[in-house]
């Protein structure tokens, strides 16, 4: 009964979201994606008998993404990983996906031993929570919008890349101990990142070099492509390699990337009795004219995902993805954008001249605040409901109404933080300062709409101000310098 009530609540909430006005610049995209999802779902419904299996439900641990570089080595981030994993346990996911990209663990990469220690820690924390771990080992997006790490790939050849990556794969197996390890994926993206020739022949050569004689130590080894890549990659992987699973990344649902290629890949994998994991996916907000067939990594396109008016389509996509997984017997699915499970930005409240990087930082901050509070977005609520129906985990969710915080300043702060709240006269306000582990490190209570907190004794780092007035709550991140 609880599942039914929650599902009805979700449907009503989605209906209210659908009433949001889609900005004129995105109305064509919205209509196109709606029609495309209709077509894909119609095909699924015509072929699926309603049967289900024990599919893994994942999301990406973006806090541990190797493209973050030396941010991963900050003590506060390490302290926050268990807290984030606890939140994801509450969400119900039973697999965590982590990008651990080449060459961050190679012997000559700066601070590689510290990175190895960090990822060993992540693996241990995931196992403590009885979740599976999927590690994807692609390549760092050197000095791009996705990463501030600078990697010089110019000295690599296919042979030296393979040899160095082989040693890195061995480290991952020995120390991180994932359940699933994807050793190659998105060949067009890899070529873009490195300047190397990731042709079909070369990718097969690389996979042989990474797997021949490898002590897998019960780690399942996989490889795959983006659905936009040449289908010949998958054909050759299935016929000529010893991988244990296929990992596909689904981003554009444009042209035939889902309703032809996914079906084709699933059919071919089934003949080889190889499971499929959707290692990354999200609803790419593109028209066919936006997508030229190159790599699916444009910040300009991905930054469209931040807006709340997309939520009905994102909810619909997760539904379609889940049904697609049941139809084709996928081993697991991974809706990539963890942050959208916790937050979106309202289009009207975002500066129209904001850059893609600024948009994503704004969403990251709002998402981090909601993670600390345990507040899911409607998309996160829906994913939680789907997982609950599949696994039987309780999906009870208690939403906290929010109290608008008028101002928090200065931010960053050194000695004091001023907090102005919108509250009625005489209302009692409680302000707690939480570290990135969710531990209370300072607090203040009082009446009125203006409060001053002494933060001079706190170590440098990021903190969450958790404000409560008459049972209503809101959080705000503050940096202490």
DSSP 260-299: THHHHHHHHHHHTT--EEEEEE------TTT--SS-S--H
Q: Tell me which of 279 and 479 has the higher pLDDT.
A: 279
**pLDDT for position 165:** 98
**pLDDT for position 155:** 94
Query: Alpha helix locations (H) across 19-135?
Result: 24-47, 75-91, 112-128
| Residue 391 in this model has a pLDDT that exceeds 70 | yes
CATH code of the domain containing 460: 2.60.40.1220
Does a structural domain hold residue 26? yes
| Residue 5 in this model has a pLDDT that exceeds 50 | no
138 by Cβ neighbours in 10 Å (0-12 / 13-18 / 19+) ranks as buried
Residues 219 and 255 in one domain: yes
Under the banding of pLDDT at 50, 70 and 90, the label for residue 2 is: very low
372 by Cβ neighbours in 10 Å (0-12 / 13-18 / 19+) ranks as buried
- For residue 171, give Cα distances in angstroms to 117, 151, 166, 288, 337: 11, 20, 9, 41, 27
Residues 91 and 189 in one domain: yes
Q: Determine how many CB atoms are found less than 10 A away from the CB of residue 215.
A: 9
Does a structural domain hold residue 233? yes
- For residue 481, give Cα distances in angstroms to 80, 309, 407, 414, 477: 18, 36, 19, 5, 13
**pLDDT for position 119:** 98
148 forms beta bridges with none
**pLDDT for position 304:** 92
Does a structural domain hold residue 17? yes
- Reference 353, options 341, 344, 362; nearest CA is 362
- End-of-domain residue from the set 327, 361, 391: 391
CB burial readout 303-329, b (16+ within 10 A) else e: bbbbbbbbbbbbbbbbbbbbbbbbbbe
Q: Tell me which of 409 and 227 has the higher pLDDT.
A: 227
Instruction: Check if the beta carbon of residue 247 is closer than 8 Å to that of residue 222.
Output: yes
CA distance 351 to 347: 8
Instruction: Check if the beta carbon of residue 112 is closer than 8 Å to that of residue 104.
Output: yes
pLDDT per residue over 338-377, tens digit each? 999 999 999 998 998 999 889 999 999 899 888 888 889 9
Residues 353 and 380 in one domain: yes
pLDDT per residue over 40-56, tens digit each? 999 999 999 999 999 99
Residues 371 and 424 in one domain: no
Q: pLDDT > 70: what percent of the chain? A: 90
| Residue 321 in this model has a pLDDT that exceeds 80 | yes
**Residues 6 or more apart in contact with residue 243 via CB below 8 angstroms:** 183, 207, 211, 221, 222, 223, 237, 274
Dihedral of the alpha carbons of 454, 457, 459, 465, in degrees to the nearest 10: -20
Residues 373 and 410 in one domain: no
Under the banding of pLDDT at 50, 70 and 90, the label for residue 12 is: very low
CA distance 428 to 449: 9
Instruction: Check if the beta carbon of residue 460 is closer than 8 Å to that of residue 481.
Output: yes
- Reference 23, options 13, 31, 11; nearest CA is 31
Structure tokens at 290: 């936006």
- End-of-domain residue from the set 337, 366, 391: 391
**Residues 6 or more apart in contact with residue 89 via CB below 8 angstroms:** 129, 131
Query: Alpha helix locations (H) across 112-260?
Result: 112-128, 158-171, 187-194, 200-211, 232-240
Question: Residue 419, SS3?
Answer: strand
Strands 440-447 and 428-434: antiparallel
pLDDT per residue over 107-161, tens digit each? 999 999 999 999 999 999 999 999 999 999 999 998 777 788 999 999 999 999 9
Q: What are phi and psi of 447, to 5 degrees?
A: -115, 160
Q: Domains in the chain: how many in total? A: 2
- End-of-domain residue from the set 391, 415, 434: 391
Residues 142 and 232 in one domain: yes
CA distance 258 to 283: 11
Residues 220 and 356 in one domain: yes
Residues 347 and 412 in one domain: no
Does a structural domain hold residue 397? no
Structure tokens at 59: 């999301």
Residues 329 and 272 in one domain: yes
**Residues 6 or more apart in contact with residue 145 via CB below 8 angstroms:** 299, 356, 357
Mean pLDDT across the chain: 88
**Residue 455 belongs to what domain range?**
405-480
**pLDDT for position 1:** 44
Maximum distance among all Cα pairs of the chain, rounded to whole angstroms? 74
Does a structural domain hold residue 398? no
- Taking each helix axis from N to C end, the angle separating 2-18 and 378-391, rounded to the nearest 10 degrees, works out to 150
Structure tokens at 253: 């649902």
| Residue 6 in this model has a pLDDT that exceeds 60 | no
Give just the sign of the alpha carbon dihedral 398, 378, 307, 147: positive
CA distance 45 to 291: 27
Does a structural domain hold residue 256? yes
Does a structural domain hold residue 400? no
Residues 387 and 409 in one domain: no
Cα–chain center distance at 335: 7
CA distance 153 to 160: 11
Question: Residue 377, SS3?
Answer: coil
Strands 461-469 and 428-434: antiparallel
Which CB contacts under 8 angstroms, 24+ apart, belong to 120-129? Answer: 120/175, 120/176, 121/78, 121/81, 122/61, 122/64, 122/81, 122/98, 122/176, 123/175, 123/176, 123/177, 123/178, 125/81, 125/82, 125/85, 126/85, 126/96, 127/177, 129/85, 129/86, 129/89
Does a structural domain hold residue 399? no
Mean pLDDT lowest among 32-46, 219-233, 240-254, 412-426: 412-426
Residues 296 and 415 in one domain: no
CATH code of the domain containing 318: 3.20.20.80
Residues 436 and 366 in one domain: no
272 by Cβ neighbours in 10 Å (0-12 / 13-18 / 19+) ranks as exposed
pLDDT per residue over 419-478, tens digit each? 888 766 567 888 888 876 667 888 888 888 888 989 999 988 778 787 887 767 677 778
């Amino acid at each position: 009964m609880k599942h039914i009530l929650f599902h009805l609540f979700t449907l009503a909430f989605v209906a209210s979201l659908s009433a949001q006005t889609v900005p004129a610049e995105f109305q064509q995209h919205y209509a196109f994606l709606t029609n495309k999802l209709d077509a894909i779902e119609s095909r699924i419904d015509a072929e699926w008998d309603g049967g289900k299996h024990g599919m893994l439900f994942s999301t990406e641990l973006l806090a541990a993404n190797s493209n973050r570089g030396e941010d991963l080595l900050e003590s506060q981030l390490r302290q926050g990983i268990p807290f984030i994993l606890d939140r994801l346990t509450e969400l119900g996911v039973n697999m965590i996906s982590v990008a651990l990209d080449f060459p961050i663990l190679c012997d000559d990469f700066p601070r590689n031993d510290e990175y190895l220690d960090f990822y060993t820690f992540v693996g241990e924390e995931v196992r403590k929570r009885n979740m599976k771990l999927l590690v994807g080992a692609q390549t760092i997006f050197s000095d791009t919008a996705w990463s501030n790490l600078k990697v010089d790939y110019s000295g690599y050849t296919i042979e030296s890349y393979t040899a160095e990556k082989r040693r890195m794969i061995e480290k991952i197996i020995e120390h991180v101990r994932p359940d699933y390890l994807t050793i190659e994926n998105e060949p067009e993206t890899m070529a873009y990142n490195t300047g190397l020739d990731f042709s079909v022949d070369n990718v097969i050569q690389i996979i042989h070099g990474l797997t021949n004689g490898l002590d897998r130590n019960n780690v399942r080894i996989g490889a795959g492509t983006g659905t936009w890549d040449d289908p010949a990659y998958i054909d050759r992987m299935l016929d000529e390699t010893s991988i244990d699973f296929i990992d596909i990344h689904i981003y554009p649902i444009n042209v035939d990337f889902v309703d032809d290629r996914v079906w084709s890949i699933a059919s071919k994998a089934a003949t080889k009795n190889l499971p499929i994991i959707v290692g990354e996916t999200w609803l790419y907000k593109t028209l066919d004219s936006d997508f030229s067939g190159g790599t699916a990594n444009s910040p300009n396109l991905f930054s469209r995902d931040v807006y709340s008016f997309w939520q009905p389509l994102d909810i619909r996509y997760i539904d379609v993805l889940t049904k697609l997984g049941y139809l084709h017997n996928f081993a697991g699915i991974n809706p990539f954008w963890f942050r959208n499970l916790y937050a979106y930005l309202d289009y009207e409240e975002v500066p129209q001249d904001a850059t893609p990087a600024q948009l994503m930082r704004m969403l990251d901050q709002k998402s981090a605040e909601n993670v600390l509070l345990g507040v899911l977005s409607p998309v996160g609520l829906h994913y939680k409901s789907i997982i609950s129906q599949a696994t039987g985990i309780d999906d009870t969710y208690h939403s906290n109404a929010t109290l608008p915080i008028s101002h928090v300043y200065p931010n960053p702060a050194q000695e004091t933080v001023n907090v102005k709240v919108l509250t009625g006269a005489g209302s009692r306000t409680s302000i707690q300062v939480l570290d990135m582990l969710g531990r209370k490190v300072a607090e203040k209570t009082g009446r009125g709409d203006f409060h001053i907190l002494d933060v001079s004794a706190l170590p440098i780092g990021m903190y969450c101000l958790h404000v409560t007035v008459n049972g209503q709550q809101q959080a705000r991140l503050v940096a202490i310098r």
